[in-house]
């Protein structure tokens, strides 16, 4: 009897997850109880993997508390002036992605954890591997076109947000070969220049149209508390360069990415 009940609840738990809206996932991340935690196996900032439950649904989240500023930082890419590494950028990355209609960044909200402000981010289920492991295993997506298109979106988004840390552990690939972008704590630099203009190759039409529409007021509202006005100015300046590049490229530099559920 107990086994049967368990089965029923397990089935209903599984069934609920795909049906949640982004707003519902955000609400869950903000309010569900932290049931257990463990340290992340990969990564360098010591993030936590937590299991959350609200009684009806149990799901994991990543907890990121880092919030550092350094006038000078020596990393693998050389010296960076005015370095920032902040959980706030995980939230800003999700919110900007949502504004742009990209469904490739998991929901991320601010929440207190162990006396600190933190980003709680929806854990991506059914991860097959990260991009580093995919390359090591020499595996390729069965749908090359979808893969290439999503990778183009990733590369452009990283130029837009001036992401200094799209290392291969920060791209997760699920069993159905969807690509997810995580870990934007070292993005949103104030530079008005693109980090790597060569990464602009082809762009999704809807993404381009949404980038064109971005403005100061919309971003200030959507990302208040998580991004400064200089960081917004950086996004807009880089956006102008990206839009100009694809306007010059014409129709042959565009594609339409099929939306993911």
Nearer to Mg ion, 152 or 170 (CB): 170
* Cβ proximity to ligand ADP, 152 vs 170, nearer residue: 170
Stretch that binds ligand ADP, among 38-46, 146-154, 195-203, 232-240 (CB under 6 A): 38-46
- Say if CB 206 and CB 103 are below 8 A apart: no
CA angle 206, 210, 213 (to 5 degrees): 145
Question: Which C-beta is closer to ligand ADP: that of 127 or that of 128?
Answer: 127
Contact in structure between 20 and 54 (CB atoms under 8 Å): no
Helix (H, G, I), strand (E, B) or coil at 171: strand
Comparing CA positions, the residue from 83, 169, 80, 81 lying closest to residue 133 is: 169
**Using the rule CB under 6 A, is 249 a contact of ligand ADP?**
no
Does 40 bind ligand ADP (CB under 6 A)? Our answer is: yes
Q: How far apart are CA 25 and CA 128, in angstroms?
A: 22
107-120 residues labelled b (16+ CB within 10 A) or e (exposed): bbbbbebeeeebbb
Sites for ligand ADP among residues 163-222 (CB under 6 A): 169-170, 172, 182-183, 185
Nearer Cβ to ligand ADP, position 162 or 182? 182
Q: Which of 130, 131, 150, 231 binds ligand ADP (CB under 6 A)?
A: 130
Q: Which residue has the tokens 């014409």?
A: 250
Q: Is 121 in the site for ligand ADP (CB under 6 A)?
A: yes
Residue 43 lies near ligand ADP (rule: CB under 6 A): yes
Binding site for ligand ADP (CB under 6 A): 40, 42-45, 47, 62, 64, 106, 121-124, 127, 130, 169-170, 172, 182-183, 185
């Amino acid at each position: 009897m107990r086994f049967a009940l368990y089965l029923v609840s397990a089935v209903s738990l599984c069934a609920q997850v795909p049906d949640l809206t982004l707003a519902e996932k955000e609400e869950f991340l903000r309010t569900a109880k932290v049931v257990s935690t463990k340290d992340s196996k990969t990564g360098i900032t010591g993030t936590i993997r937590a299991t959350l439950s609200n009684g009806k649904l149990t799901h994991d989240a990543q907890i990121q508390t880092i919030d550092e500023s350094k006038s000078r930082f020596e990393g693998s890419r050389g010296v960076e002036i005015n370095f920032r590494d902040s959980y706030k950028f995980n939230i800003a990355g999700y919110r900007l992605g949502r504004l742009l209609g990209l469904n490739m960044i998991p929901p991320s909200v601010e929440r207190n954890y162990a006396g600190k402000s933190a980003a709680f981010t929806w854990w991506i289920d059914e991860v097959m591997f990260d991009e580093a492991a995919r390359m090591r295993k020499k595996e390729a997506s069965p749908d090359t076109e979808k893969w290439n298109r999503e990778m183009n979106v990733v590369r452009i988004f990283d130029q837009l947000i001036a992401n200094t840390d799209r290392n291969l552990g920060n791209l997760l690939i699920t069993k159905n070969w969807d690509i997810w972008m995580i870990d934007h704590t070292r993005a949103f630099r104030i530079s008005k220049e693109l980090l790597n203009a060569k990464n602009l190759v082809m762009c999704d039409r809807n993404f381009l149209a949404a980038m064109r529409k971005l403005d100061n007021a919309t971003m200030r509202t959507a990302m208040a508390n998580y991004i400064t006005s200089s960081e917004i100015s950086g996004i807009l300046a880089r956006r102008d360069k990206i839009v100009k590049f694809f306007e010059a490229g014409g129709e042959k530099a565009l594609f339409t990415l099929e939306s993911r559920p």
